[in-house]
Structure 1
Amino acid sequence: MDNMKISLLFQLSGFHSTLPLAEIEAMLSLYGSFNLLEKTERFAIFDFVGKRNVIDSLRRRLSLVHGVFEFLGRCKLGDIETFFKEKQVQIEMPYRIRMHGMLINDVIDRVADIIENKSLHPCVSLEHPKTSIELFIKGKDVYITKLLFYPDKSFMKHSPKHRPFIRPVAMDARIARCMVNLSRIANGKLIDPVCGTGGILIEAASMGIKVYGMDKERTMVKGTKQNLEFFGYSGDVMQGDVITLDKLFPHNYFDAVVCDMPYGISSSLGNIRRDVLYSKAIVAMRNVVKKGHYVVIMVPEEINLLNVKMKLIEIHKERVHTNLTRRIYVLRKECD
């Protein structure tokens, strides 16, 4: 497949302080090399060189990005006419111009004048443009972009409130999808060995990934199967204990392990001390994931997973409610 070189501006959702950028970088890494040019609270700009199908994958999979744009360049507000003349920006009609941040009507009018003076048959369509020029304002600077796409948000129908089988504490579909993306799996086999109601498996299955699930409780196994079937997906879901994962599956079998570990009282953990459970579970996960592949695991904030014989890639905090904050660890298996 032909490679492409492009500069991309990602409009961040603001849903989380660190996960949107991490999700973008994880996805870009699957298809080529990238360089972060600039990061603000509202957007991030990357240079990317790699496979062209990155665009389709970003459209289908991103969960914490509002929009993706081709970044054309930056200039001062007073220099926007010069920018458009020197850059020779290609405009396919009909077109529209939109601004993000401070609304300055004069800027829109100036850009419109440039576009319409260069076109034989200028035509504006606010609803169905072929070219959408999007201007991001930051102080006295304007970042000029073309809209490429808005990520597919149909996955939000997977939210816990829409599932036939639910439990009081269920992971937000956006976080579940992001965790799958952080595992850097393009295709292949993914397992959630403490699958609960199946949120992570649903998101992975919707991306065309072969999913495996396991839970100690028979009710959860039945409920996960019900939820997968409800959304039209399938998976191999069984009853089992996470600490025996490497007894049930061969070593180096999975392309990714993604899970939200239980954090309840002793009885809900099978009467095993939580630190012991996590220690044994992480060893089993490491054994079944392939070398060079990733384990993405959510645990309570007080749990430390820094000495688990895998390379720590990143840590993110996720606040569930006032009394519960969890950490998402992204770990890579470096050797057998």
Structure 2
Amino acid sequence: MMELLPKPTSYLYTYASREEEASLCQLELRSLFNQSPGRSYFISDLKMAPSRSPFIRERIDILFEGTTLEDIIGQINGLPKIESSYRVVYVKNDELSDPPGLQARRAIEREVGVQIKGEPDLHNPKLLFGIMNIHNGFVFGFYVKSEAVWLQHQQKPYMYSTALSTRVARAVANIAVPIPEGTKAIDPCCGIGTVLIEALSMGIDIIGGDKNPLVTSKARVNIAHFGLEGKVLLQDIRNVMGHYDVAIIDLPYNLCSVITPKEQLEMFQSARKFAQKLVVVTIEPVDSIILEAGFTITDRCEVSKGSFKREVIVCK
């Protein structure tokens, strides 16, 4: 049984991003894990569901480490019998200069799998193990693959061409709220609710608001469409009451909602009154306005789509 197995010592995550989202990926991982990862994998003491990030591909809960495959096999031999059916997955390391081919990977899976006492099942296993060749040897442990939850949120009842993609929205929510437990968040200019949906789907305590009754009603419909529950208030950002740990502001930029630098300053000054932390998404330079409102910029990134570029700015 799983509870008879040793506890993981640490957690290995693999990740990947497109070039135009590489900066966003790195900011999200810095926010979630408080470290700057390597090129394709990193090891952390923090256990996190891989599906939280649109960039994390899988996680190995490390049970054993060794300099050679034989070291790993020797340690596996000491495991008790596994009551659940299982399968071993070879996790590719994109950083290896001479990675094994498909046949070699399958051979490693078989070689490791036969050492485990239990009932293997290649088609419908209840338990997955992962084996990965890293630069200084091998790691072995429980294997968890990411599920692309955000892809399910792409088709909403109401959509705007200028809205954030679900991948970017999910990353922004993680940058704003890396630790959901005990954190209260607000999206005071939520539009049709793209960020709200991603945040709510991850269990983040967040409410939305907007001064436009047409978009607040659409945001509520979009949220309900995915079986989520979230509050969306009809209110101007200048009238937000209460205190929040973090606010997310995706600055309006389409032709129907152009705002002046003065209005931007009023938005940030309002946020300063009710939020300790602020994450801004913008296509315009707003550093001086953020600073004038009393915030300090602590981190940032750029995400592009063709010639269209956004900045994500973290402030405290």
Place the TM-score, normalised by the shorter chain, in its bin.
0.7 to 0.9
Question: In the alignment, is residue 82 of structure 1 matched against residue 71 of structure 2?
Answer: yes
Which consecutive unaligned segments of at least 5 residues does structure 2 have? 1-6
Which consecutive unaligned segments of at least 5 residues does structure 1 have? 30-35, 49-53
Q: 1:136 deviation in Å?
A: 4.0
- Rounded to whole Å, the distance in 2 between the matches of 1:235 and 1:107 is 45
Matched with 2:226 is 231
Question: In the alignment, is residue 330 of structure 1 matched against residue 314 of structure 2?
Answer: yes
Question: In the alignment, is residue 7 of structure 1 matched against residue 25 of structure 2?
Answer: no
Aligned residue pairs total 294
Q: CA-atom RMSD, angstroms?
A: 3.2
Matched with 2:42 is 44
Question: In the alignment, is residue 125 of structure 1 matched against residue 122 of structure 2?
Answer: yes
- Which amino acid is the alignment partner of residue 38 of structure 2? T
Name which of structure 1's ranges 177-186 and 128-137 shifts more when overlaid on structure 2.
128-137
- What SS does the corresponding residue of 1:280 show, helix, strand or coil? helix
Question: In the alignment, is residue 287 of structure 1 matched against residue 273 of structure 2?
Answer: yes
Q: 1:261 deviation in Å?
A: 0.8
Matched with 1:302 is 285
Q: How does 1:269-284 map to 2 (within 5 A)?
A: 269=258, 272-273=259-260, 275-284=261-270
Seen in structure 2, the aligned counterparts of structure 1 residues 132 and 208 have a Cα distance that, compared at 3 Å, is: closer
Task: Output the TM-score relative to the length of structure 1.
Answer: 0.74
Matched with 1:258 is 248
Deviations along 1:158-211, one digit per CA (max 9) or x if unpaired, are: 11xx11111122211122122112122335532212111111111222233443
Matched with 2:4 is none
The structure where strand makes up a greater share of residues is 1
Deviations along 1:55-77, one digit per CA (max 9) or x if unpaired, are: 4xx256333211111244363xx
For the Cα contact (< 8 Å) 2:223–2:229, is it kept in 1?
yes
Task: Output the TM-score relative to the length of structure 2.
Answer: 0.78
- Rounded to whole Å, the distance in 1 between the matches of 2:190 and 2:265 is 18
- Rounded to whole Å, the distance in 1 between the matches of 2:240 and 2:45 is 43
Determine which structure has greater relative contact order: mean sequence separation of CA pairs < 8 Å that are 6+ residues apart, divided by chain length: 2
Matched with 1:200 is 195
For the Cα contact (< 8 Å) 2:72–2:139, is it kept in 1?
no
For the Cα contact (< 8 Å) 1:289–1:295, is it kept in 2?
yes
- Rounded to whole Å, the distance in 2 between the matches of 1:321 and 1:226 is 31
Deviations along 1:200-228, one digit per CA (max 9) or x if unpaired, are: 11122223344322223332122112212
- Which amino acid is the alignment partner of residue 224 of structure 1? A
Matched with 1:315 is 300
- What SS does the corresponding residue of 1:11 show, helix, strand or coil? strand
- Which amino acid is the alignment partner of residue 94 of structure 1? Y
Seen in structure 2, the aligned counterparts of structure 1 residues 181 and 120 have a Cα distance that, compared at 3 Å, is: closer
- Rounded to whole Å, the distance in 1 between the matches of 2:235 and 2:222 is 19
For the Cα contact (< 8 Å) 2:176–2:248, is it kept in 1?
yes
Matched with 2:170 is 177
Seen in structure 2, the aligned counterparts of structure 1 residues 170 and 309 have a Cα distance that, compared at 3 Å, is: same
For the Cα contact (< 8 Å) 2:185–2:206, is it kept in 1?
yes
For the Cα contact (< 8 Å) 2:162–2:254, is it kept in 1?
no
Q: 1:327 deviation in Å?
A: 0.7
- Rounded to whole Å, the distance in 2 between the matches of 1:27 and 1:212 is 21
- Rounded to whole Å, the distance in 2 between the matches of 1:119 and 1:63 is 32
- Rounded to whole Å, the distance in 2 between the matches of 1:156 and 1:110 is 32
Seen in structure 2, the aligned counterparts of structure 1 residues 73 and 155 have a Cα distance that, compared at 3 Å, is: same
Name which of structure 1's ranges 196-205 and 302-311 shifts more when overlaid on structure 2.
302-311
Matched with 1:158 is 153
- Rounded to whole Å, the distance in 2 between the matches of 1:86 and 1:298 is 48
